[in-house]
Amino acid sequence: MAHAENQITISRSPDEVYAFLADGLNNTAWRSGVQSISLQSGTPGMLGAVYRQTLSGPGGRPIDGDYEITAAEPGRLLGFQVVAGPARPSGAYHLGPSDGGTTVRFTLDLQPKGLMKLVGPMVQRTMDQEVAQLAHLKTVLEAP
């Protein structure tokens, strides 16, 4: 299984951080690989909401990365499952109060199947890069 994880503290309340993350339309503001995103079905930030997402793949080629919200506990936990595209990891943002802000832990997990096992190192690098973008989330949320 491939696993990636990163943690950061953001000078905003858990509810503010959750609200920003739960609205998938904000992904283009802090995730560099997101080319486009739209709400496909459901209510933004609510359990079962599905976002249609186009990501930058190898060589900048567009790939699908649609995802569904699988856990929604405001101010505490936002979970998702990628439902379209070549890799379909599950992930979660774990939020907790911290002195003057919120600790955000972002986890991604993928059980590679078939040919995906052959490109394991590339998948791991991509997952590591994705969770590292928490630094950009911090910059965006703490901007005046």
Where along the chain do its domains lie? 2-142
Cα 136 to Cα 98: distance, rounded to the nearest angstrom = 19
What is this structure's pTM? 0.92
The DSSP call for residue 87 is: -
Band of pLDDT at residue 60, cut at 50, 70 and 90: confident
Q: Which amino acid is at 116?
A: M
CA 12 from chain center: how many Å?
A: 18
Would you state the pLDDT for residue 45?
86
CATH for 2-142? 3.30.530.20
